[in-house]
Amino acid sequence: MDLGISGKRAIVCASSKGLGRACAMALAEAGCEVVVNGRDRESVAATAREIAAATGATIIPVVADVGTPEGRAALLGACPSPDILVNNNAGPPTKDFRQLSHADMVKGVEGNMITPIELIQAVIDGMIERRFGRIVNITSSSVKSPLPMLDLSSGARAGLTAFISGVARQVAPHNVTINSIQPGAFLTDRLRYIAAQAARTRNVSLERQLEDRVLTIPAGRLGDPREFGQLCAYLASAQAGYITAQNLLIDGGAVQAAF
């Protein structure tokens, strides 16, 4: 399917690895010019080269921490007028809620709620003026079904979800959409990190921990990041203009809910 976004400019935050990288790849395949971003210079450069080689798209690498004002300024400096913004950032470390300090909580909210909101504030008026904008926030299935040790991550992302619900409806008349994707268990470095911590707590191997996680997923497997990237690209497409203020769960059926 031609997504109708060839030539559009996209910023994909935290996209040197994992789900962000998958989104950057899918948007590049659709013909977008893509800013890829991460904190590690070698990873960002390698990702930019690989996506450019695979797709022929223009890929702009930006080494920066999106969770800082300087990092956000660097992204916007590389692409001042994006048509597509994919908000993504690493979640806070897993920790029992009793052990969360005030500083931990402030950092978690800044990274996973305030950062995407400030980027949206920076780009939304340009999208409205051009009468095209697609914003996709990568949150988590834990917004719907909280997971132990991820309380701060779940809370911050739930705050973003509630904040954006009204904003998306304000800008919808201008062909600007804002949606969130709520990933479940995808085979990424982040999943391996969380699984390794759980494995140590349970005194089992990482392989056993991942196998046990799969048993909780009706699809019977972990997600492939490429599947996630393709969903993101569709939400960014011209055809998705009637989808807004939605939270799309992609988790292989793991969350047990009818609505």
Give the residue-averaged pLDDT of 218-242: 98
β-pairing verdict for 9-12 and 59-63: unpaired
175 phi/psi in degrees, rounded to 5: 60, 35
For residues 198 and 196, give the distance between their C-alpha atoms in angstroms, rounded to a whole number.
5
Task: Report the percentage of the chain scoring pLDDT > 90.
Answer: 90
Q: Check whether 241 has a pLDDT greater than 90.
A: yes
Instruction: Indicate the average pLDDT of the chain.
Output: 96
Rg value, the chain, Cα: 18
Structure tokens at 82: 């994006």
- What is the torsional sign of CA 112, 118, 122, 128? positive
The position carrying tokens 């890929």 is 59
Confidence band of 227 (pLDDT split at 50, 70, 90): very high
Structure tokens at 67: 């969770």
Task: Note the pLDDT of residue 17.
Answer: 96
For residues 105 and 25, give the distance between their C-alpha atoms in angstroms, rounded to a whole number.
32
Q: Check whether 75 has a pLDDT greater than 90.
A: yes
The DSSP element (H or E) to which 249 belongs, if any, is: strand 247-250
Structure tokens at 242: 């009637």
Where do the domains of the chain lie?
9-186+224-250
Residue 147, number of CB atoms within 10 A of its CB: 14
Give the residue-averaged pLDDT of 28-38: 98
First and final CA of the chain: distance in angstroms? Answer: 29
- Fold of the 9-186+224-250 domain: Rossmann fold (3.40.50)
